[in-house]
Amino acid sequence: MLIAFSVAPSGTGREDGSVHDAVAAAVKVVRDSGLAHRTTSMFTEIEGPDWDSVMEVVKRATEAVMPFGSRVSLVLKADIRPGYEGELEAKIERLEAAIDDVADR
């Protein structure tokens, strides 16, 4: 199971509107989880064996953001494909191969 999520506080009171400290707290939870993951400028992706293991990390990451503002926003997208592992990397590898195939035509 793959989850892409973004979690951020609002009502932080910061003049510059930055949420990087809160996001760092969430990413630390993900990194400490032991699950395969990748963080980009907009989302963090997590891969785990089942719904419960992945959602527990998302829940703890969301809770880590709560102290940084008066409310928290969570955006989540899931790819649920039973029987597949290693898709965090494999999906990208298949995409790159397809791009190469298109370029060779």
Q: What is the pTM of this model?
A: 0.88
- What percentage of the chain carries pLDDT values higher than 90? 83
Confidence at residue 16, expressed as pLDDT on a 0 to 100 scale: 79
Give how far the C-alpha of residue 18 lies from the chain's centroid of Cα atoms, to the nearest Å.
Answer: 19
H helices, E strands: number in the chain: 3, 4
Residue 73: CB atoms within 10 Å: 13
The answer to whether residue 11 scores a pLDDT higher than 80 is no
Domain boundaries, the chain: 2-104
Residue 39: CB atoms within 10 Å: 14
Name the CATH code of domain 2-104 (choices 3.40.50.460, 3.90.320.10, 3.40.50.2300, 3.30.70.930).
Answer: 3.30.70.930
What is the rounded (10 degree) CA torsion for 93, 97, 98, 100? 140
* pLDDT tens by residue, 28-61: 999 999 999 999 999 999 999 999 999 999 999 9
* pLDDT tens by residue, 61-91: 999 999 999 899 999 999 999 999 999 999 9
SS3 of 69, please?
A: coil
